[in-house]
């Protein structure tokens, strides 16, 4: 539990996980097949009660264009760096396809290039 100066407590969320560990006797990393640990998590929405209502707002967006969480390690089937990169690449491809440009492979648009050119 975290205590903020505004006298509001925020409780951790409990996530049950399969956590790899090192077996010193066997001298190898063990990847468990069953849950063997707990992770205590906080999420951004946990602090929403701390915000001032006149400065708070919500925006509804298309998930595939605005949301690519990274909660799992590389190689996981969902919410991993790999799936986030794929979603970002698909978004960039869709922008280019709207302009008539087609790509068969993964692409990324580097916005820093455009910001430097505009100065």
Q: What residues does each domain of the chain span?
A: 9-47, 64-109
Please list the ranges in the chain whose pLDDT falls under 70.
Answer: 1-9, 114-119
The structure's pTM equals 0.56
Residue 58, pLDDT score: 83
78-106 pLDDT per residue, tens? 999 999 999 999 898 888 899 998 878 88
As a whole number of angstroms, the distance between CA 85 and CA 74 comes to 11
Contact in structure between 74 and 82 (CB atoms under 8 Å)? yes
Residue 117, token pair as written in the block: 């050119």
């Amino acid at each position: 539990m975290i205590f903020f100066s505004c006298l509001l407590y925020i409780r951790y969320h409990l996530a049950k996980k399969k956590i790899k560990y090192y077996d010193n006797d066997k001298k190898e990393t063990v990847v468990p097949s069953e849950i063997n640990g707990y992770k205590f998590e906080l999420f951004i929405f946990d602090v929403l009660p701390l915000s001032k209502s006149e400065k708070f707002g919500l925006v509804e967006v298309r998930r595939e264009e605005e949301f690519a969480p990274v909660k799992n390690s590389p190689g996981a089937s969902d919410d991993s760096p790999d799936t986030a990169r794929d979603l970002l690449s698909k978004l960039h491809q869709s922008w280019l396809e709207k302009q008539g440009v087609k790509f068969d492979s993964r692409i990324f648009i580097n916005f820093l290039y455009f910001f430097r050119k505009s100065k």
